[in-house]
Amino acid sequence: MPRRRFVRFVLGSLAAIACNGAALAQRIDVVPDHADGQYAVGETITWRLNYNAEESGRPAPAELRYTLKRGGRTEIGSGVIQLDDGAAQWTATLDAPGALLAEFVAPGDDESKRLQAFGGAVVAPGEIGLSAGAPEDFEAFWIEQVERLAAIEPAARLEPKEAKRPGVGYWHVTLSGWGGTKIRGQLARPAAGDKFPAMFIPQWAGVYPLENQWVDDRADEGWLALNILAHDLPIDEPAEFYKQQKQGPLKDYWEIGVESRDESYFLRMYLSCVQAVRYLTSREDWDGETLVVMGASQGGQQTLVTAGLLSLMKEHATAIEAPELSAALALCPAGCDALGPRVGRAPGWPQWYYKTEGRDAATVHRAIRYFDAANFASHITCPLLVGVGHIDRVCPPEGIYAAVNQARGPVEIVPLPNGTHYNVRGSQEPYNRRTHGAWLPALVEGKPAPVGAAAVE
């Protein structure tokens, strides 16, 4: 495994909050003594805990129960912490590379209203390895699928629509996709001008419509932006339509075909990314130079996959000519290190490892390796920006670090020491500042990605 040197940033103190009873308007702030939440093997990790009553006026609890887990899964400690006037310090260590997740809970009879908070830390992040590598025929399998996709022309159909921003052109797009399906999305670009840098935006998990602003805002910045839905669905139906899809044919879509690499729902999803990039870079209004892929969660998963597949396609000179990717940006990417439980590590969403009810577990675990984002990351050569939430329980940090450590190109990690899977109290803002304050402004001007060029204040 390559050793990865990460840029360490001054992030400032952030409140780590997770409270089941939001109506109580109280919280516990958990702050690590290292601003970036990163530590050396064997180094003492100290969390400062402070009770904040906010407007509730409730007194601080006298004690907290704690549970400490390695890799977000394996319990290595539990007990009780006494609070002194609502405050305490608590320490832990880890004697090997990995991540720690500490859960703190105030005692209470009503479980739904218990005060709860989390603290995270990552030890020797550049040395965290994968639970398992790619299957021996991983490359051959995916190159075969891409070559089969080559016979399917995108055959783009564009329908002009009204943009939400002045000076922006906006269209709904339909492409021909894998297995007779359609790829549905939206495209925007500046109304004035002839050639533009291109951005591809895959979507996070769920069943929902697309919003104009997700491409309009990028077009307003100068991008030719293409955003696709993960599903073969119209992109602008009423909410009830998506609710019915979510409860019907797309219920638990991430489990569809989980036991087969040929039937997995993610086979079409991943190949749709290739087809979308194929179309985007065939357009006459692309500048032929700058191409960026960017997404969060499931969109971050597809970002890693797209970047890895494009590199593989270049290596194997596929019939679909792979463009050079300028940069890939992924926030809390899903689908990393799918076999993590084998080494005591919580896997990221969609947690395929556990989707074995009524199925042969060995067959499932064999198939999901072909869709593990970590196995695509090992082929990424372009500059890569990744935001990692240290208390993210949807896409836990240990698997993400393990995946990103496989990348071959320059990597900038933005550690989010109090980052959940969502931007709770601005916990993801350090990543957003690097994305929108540094990387995208440079890339849209045709400049190289500013990997680790500046600290986040």
Question: Region 47-58: what's the mean pLDDT?
Answer: 82
Topology of domain 138-382 in CATH is Rossmann fold (3.40.50)
Q: Is 421 a catalytic residue?
A: yes
pLDDT at 213 over 60: yes
Which residue among the candidates 131, 264, 272, 297 is catalytic per the annotation?
297
Burial code (b: 16+ CB inside 10 Å, e: under 16) for 27-55 equals bbbbbbebbbbbbeeeeebbbebbbeeee
What band does 387 get if pLDDT is binned at 50, 70 and 90?
Answer: very high
Question: Region 127-132: what's the mean pLDDT?
Answer: 96
**What would the pLDDT profile of 420-443 be if each residue is shown by its tens digit?**
999 888 889 999 999 999 999 999
pLDDT at 454 over 50: no
Q: If 0-12 CB within 10 Å is exposed, 13-18 middle and 19+ buried, where does residue 155 land?
A: exposed
Question: Token match 């450590």: residue?
Answer: 405
pLDDT at 5 over 70: no
- The pLDDT score that the predictor gives to residue 53 is 80
User: What DSSP string runs through 157-179?
Assistant: EEEEE--SSTTEEEEEEEEE-GG
Q: Share the mean pLDDT of the chain.
A: 92
The pTM of the full predicted model, rounded to 2 decimals, is 0.92
Which residue among the candidates 36, 216, 337, 392 is catalytic per the annotation?
392
- Where are the chain's structural domains? 22-127, 138-382
Question: Region 368-392: what's the mean pLDDT?
Answer: 97
Question: Region 247-273: what's the mean pLDDT?
Answer: 98
Contact 233, 191 (CB under 8 A): no
Which residue among the candidates 231, 365, 379, 421 is catalytic per the annotation?
421
- The pLDDT score that the predictor gives to residue 114 is 77
pLDDT at 19 over 60: no
- The pLDDT score that the predictor gives to residue 9 is 30
pLDDT at 457 over 80: no
Topology of domain 22-127 in CATH is Immunoglobulin-like (2.60.40)
Question: Region 139-160: what's the mean pLDDT?
Answer: 98
- The pLDDT score that the predictor gives to residue 87 is 95
150, two tokens: 């080559």
Question: Token match 């590379």: residue?
Answer: 97
What band does 72 get if pLDDT is binned at 50, 70 and 90?
Answer: very high
**What would the pLDDT profile of 292-332 be if each residue is shown by its tens digit?**
999 999 999 999 999 999 999 999 999 999 999 999 999 99
What band does 25 get if pLDDT is binned at 50, 70 and 90?
Answer: low
pLDDT at 155 over 90: yes
pLDDT at 117 over 50: yes
- The pLDDT score that the predictor gives to residue 7 is 35
86, two tokens: 């609502």
pLDDT at 150 over 50: yes
User: Which residues sit opposite 365 in a β-bridge?
Assistant: none
Q: Is 34 a catalytic residue?
A: no
Of residues 11 and 280, the one with the higher pLDDT is 280
Q: Is 264 a catalytic residue?
A: no
